[in-house]
């Protein structure tokens, strides 16, 4: 617990003790004092009462003796009178002793009591004397003596003094008690008020605490409900196990995975669940370790044979959950069925292997192709060169002896060899278009088309071509191969429309935003072609017109298609014979990956 809280707790405890002291201690002390005062005043009251009653008892006894003696004087020898004297005298003695005791702490009253006792003694002596006189039959002397009431009068006086003093003391005690009662009322009221305030505070505090607890309970109930809802909503199987690995709680996904058609598995030992799916001792030990050693388990892979589902690959995550209020710790386990992902991974690996195999094969084929074209490039030319050279040598050697027909034959031989050399060149160029790297950059099609157009115009011998060229975009591509593309497309257009009057070529482009491509269009008003042969148009060495009519190798459009394909585009053509041809090709409108392009 942080020290600040600790200090606050101590302070609170101290304040509570002070409050208890104020509420209980002080009134108790006050009560004790009040009790003390009351006892004192009671004591003083009883003291006074004792004094007064003792005096009156003494006086009464004395008066009894007095009247007995008087009766005796009137009726001497009357029986029973003289016997009354001695008990009274005894009582008086006790009373005097009592009086002395009662007044021993009060000197003034003590002095009065002593005088009173002396007077009592004196009166008794007078009465004793009178009794003796009666016994001696000196009745008249006795009567005279008895009629002298001086001592009795003095006794009455001092009795009154004694009593008055006591009564006065009593009165003083009363008024003192009265004033202290007022005092106690004030203090008592103050303390009662204080107690009330404290009580109100305590009630308020406990009310607040009660409310807070209620609030906390409500919140915790809400949170519990929330957690429960989340748990139920999560589709991954989750369960909480106690320290004996019994299922204490599980979400519906857990139940469904292991016991979809069985009663609630809550309370069941985990190893009995899923028909032995959890019977692996090593896994159970790991779960126990998670509880005992507070280990954490991340993506531990399990192979389980789950009834009704079959073998699955499952990753297990586990974490200890400390028990609340001294309860034993639990373990929470979360499962993830990765079978599908794992299978897909396997399939991807397999496909990748196949792909790699294919790539290897293609690379191998490419290498072979390269070796082949290298051979063609070198070895096919040498014989051609020799044919041409030796035909010429033969021609020179024979000189004029040779017939003109033989000379023609030799020319055909040489010309065929030259033609074959050109075909080899064209074929090698086509092959290079498929193999070489594309150096992609921004290419301004406007400028490129303009360049090619100038070249064609310079080479055109007949009627000049009427061009109609719209604005063209800048594309991302390889400038040299794109130049070749335009040379072939526009060159063809010019070649096949050369006989039109005037030849007309249109170049335009539209942007297909949905397909992210530019669609270029080249239209001419030339001889066109029959659509039935359109599929032959882009093939290698395929011609739709005789070479005599339109010279060429039949490789230009094959090259064009290869350039377009390597840029990730498509090409197609439409035509009506005699009315011209329209070529369309597309190029992506943005930078695309794979600068190497696709295998040829």
Binding site for another protein (CB under 8 A): 374, 377-379, 381-382, 384-386, 388-390, 392-393, 417-418, 421, 425, 428, 432
In the complex, the smallest distance separating the C-beta of residue 312 from another protein, rounded to whole angstroms, is 56
- Nearer to another protein among residue 119 and residue 427 (C-beta): 427
Closer by beta carbon to another protein, 330 or else 566: 566
Residue that has been written with the tokens 């299922």 in this structure: 247
Show Cβ contacts of residue 55 under 8 Å, excluding neighbours closer than 6 positions. 95, 99, 116, 159, 162, 163
427 or 482, CB closer to another protein? 427
For another protein, which is the closer residue by CB, 93 or 432? 432
CB-based burial of residue 152 (10 Å sphere; 0-12 exposed, 13-18 middle, 19+ buried)? middle
User: What is the torsional sign of CA 456, 462, 464, 468?
Assistant: negative
CB of 479 to another protein, least distance (A): 17
Shortest separation between residue 415's beta carbon and another protein, angstroms? 11
CB of 396: closest distance to another protein in angstroms?
10
CA 25, 28, 34, 36 dihedral sign is: negative
Q: How far is the CB of 572 from another protein (least distance, A)?
A: 32
Rounded Cα distance between 342 and 329, Å, is: 34
What is the C-alpha separation between 431 and 423, in angstroms, rounded?
A: 12
Please name the residue that has the structure tokens 């269009």. Answer: 521
Q: Is the CB of 28 or the CB of 374 nearer to another protein?
A: 374
250 DSSP β-pair partners:
239
Sheet containing strand 571-576, edge to edge, reads 466-469, 504-512, 517-524, 580-588, 571-576
Give exposure, 17-35, as e/b (b: 16+ Cβ within 10 Å): eebeeebeeebeeeeeebe
CB atoms within 10 A of CB 491: 16
Closest approach of another protein to the CB of residue 405, in Å: 22
CB of 345 to another protein, least distance (A): 41
CB closer to another protein, 391 vs 505:
391
Q: Which is nearer to another protein, 428 or 455 (CB)?
A: 428
Compute the distance between CA of residue 587 and CA of residue 517 in angstroms, rounded to an integer: 5
DSSP 354-369: HHHHHHHHHHHHHHHH
- Identify the CA nearest to 84 among candidates 97, 68, 70: 68
Residue with smaller CB distance to another protein, 379 or 459:
379
Q: How far apart are CA 470 and CA 467, in angstroms?
A: 10
Q: Which is nearest to 517 in space by CA: 477, 481, 561, 475?
A: 475
Q: Is 471 left (phi over 0), alpha (psi -120 to 50) or beta?
A: beta
Q: Which is nearer to another protein, 424 or 582 (CB)?
A: 424
Residue 438 CB, shortest distance to another protein, in Å, is 15
Q: What's the sign of the alpha-carbon dihedral 425, 431, 434, 436?
A: negative
Least separation in angstroms between residue 475's CB and another protein is 25
- Judged by beta carbon, residue 296 or residue 379, the one nearer another protein is 379
Of 309 and 392, CB closest to another protein: 392
What is the nearest approach in angstroms of another protein to the Cβ of residue 581? 32
Which of 37, 413 has the CB closer to another protein? 413
Supply the minimum distance, in Å, between the C-beta of residue 370 and another protein. Answer: 10
Q: How far is the CB of 436 from another protein (least distance, A)?
A: 8
Q: What is the DSSP letter of 590?
A: S
Three state DSSP letters for 216-250: HHHHHHHHHHHHHHHHHHCCCCEEEECCCCEEEEE
Q: What angle do CA 479, 483, 486 make, to 5 degrees?
A: 140
């Amino acid at each position: 617990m942080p020290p600040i809280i600790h200090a606050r707790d101590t302070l609170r405890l101290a304040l509570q003790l002070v409050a208890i002291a104020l509420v209980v201690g002080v009134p108790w002390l006050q009560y004790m004092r009040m009790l003390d005062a009351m006892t004192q005043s009671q004591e003083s009251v009883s003291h006074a009462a004792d004094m007064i009653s003792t005096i009156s008892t003494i006086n009464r006894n004395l008066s009894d003796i007095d009247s007995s003696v008087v009766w005796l004087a009137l009726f001497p020898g009357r029986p029973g009178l003289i016997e009354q004297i001695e008990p009274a005298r005894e009582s008086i003695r006790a009373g005097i002793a009592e009086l002395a005791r009662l007044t021993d702490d009060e000197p003034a009253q003590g002095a009065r009591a002593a005088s009173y006792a002396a007077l009592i003694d004196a009166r008794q002596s007078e009465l004793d004397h009178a009794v003796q006189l009666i016994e001696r039959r000196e009745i008249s002397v006795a009567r005279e003596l008895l009629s002298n009431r001086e001592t009795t009068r003095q006794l009455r006086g001092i009795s009154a003094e004694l009593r008055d003093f006591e009564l006065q003391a009593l009165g003083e005690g009363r008024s003192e008690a009265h004033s202290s009662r007022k005092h106690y009322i004030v203090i008592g009221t103050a303390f009662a008020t204080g107690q009330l305030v404290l009580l109100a505070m305590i009630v308020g505090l406990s009310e607040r605490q009660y409310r807070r607890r209620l609030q906390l309970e409500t919140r915790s109930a809400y949170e519990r409900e929330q957690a429960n809802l989340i748990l139920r909503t999560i589709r991954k199987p989750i369960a909480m196990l106690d320290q004996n690995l019994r299922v204490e709680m599980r979400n519906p996904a857990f139940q469904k995975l292991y016991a979809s058609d069985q009663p609630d598995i809550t309370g069941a030992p985990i190893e009995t669940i899923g028909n032995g799916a959890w019977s692996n001792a090593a896994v159970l030990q790991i779960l126990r370790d998670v509880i005992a050693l507070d280990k954490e388990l991340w993506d531990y892979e399990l192979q389980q044979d789950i009834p009704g589902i079959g073998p699955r690959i499952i990753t297990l995550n586990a974490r200890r959950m400390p028990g609340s209020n001294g309860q034993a710790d639990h373990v929470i386990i979360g499962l993830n069925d990765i079978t599908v992902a794992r299978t897909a991974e396997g399939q991807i690996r397999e496909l990748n292997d196949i792909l790699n195999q294919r790539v290897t094969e293609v690379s191998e084929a490419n290498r072979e192709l390269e070796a082949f074209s290298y051979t063609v490039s070198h070895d096919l030319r040498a014989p051609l060169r020799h044919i041409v050279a030796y035909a010429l040598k033969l021609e020179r050697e024979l000189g004029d002896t040779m017939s003109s027909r033989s000379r023609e034959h030799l020319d055909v031989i040489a010309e065929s060899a030259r033609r074959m050399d050109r075909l080899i060149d064209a074929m090698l160029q086509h092959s290079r278009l498929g193999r070489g790297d594309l150096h992609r950059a921004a290419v301004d099609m406007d400028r490129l088309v303009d360049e090619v157009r100038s070249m064609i115009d310079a080479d055109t011998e007949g009627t000049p071509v009427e061009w109609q060229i719209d604005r063209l975009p800048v594309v991302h591509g390889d400038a040299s191969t794109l130049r070749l593309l335009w040379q072939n497309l526009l060159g063809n257009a010019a070649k096949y429309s050369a006989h039109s009057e005037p030849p007309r070529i249109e170049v335009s482009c539209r942007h297909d935003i949905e397909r992210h491509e530019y669609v270029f269009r080249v239209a001419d008003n030339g001889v066109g072609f029959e659509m039935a042969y359109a599929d032959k148009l882009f093939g290698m060495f395929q011609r739709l017109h005789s070479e005599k009519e339109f010279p060429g190798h039949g490789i230009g459009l094959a090259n064009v298609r290869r350039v377009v394909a390597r840029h990730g585009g498509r090409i197609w053509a439409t035509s009506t014979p005699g009315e011209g041809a329209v070529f369309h090709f597309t190029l992506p409108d943005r930078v695309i990956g794979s600068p190497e392009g696709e295998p040829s």
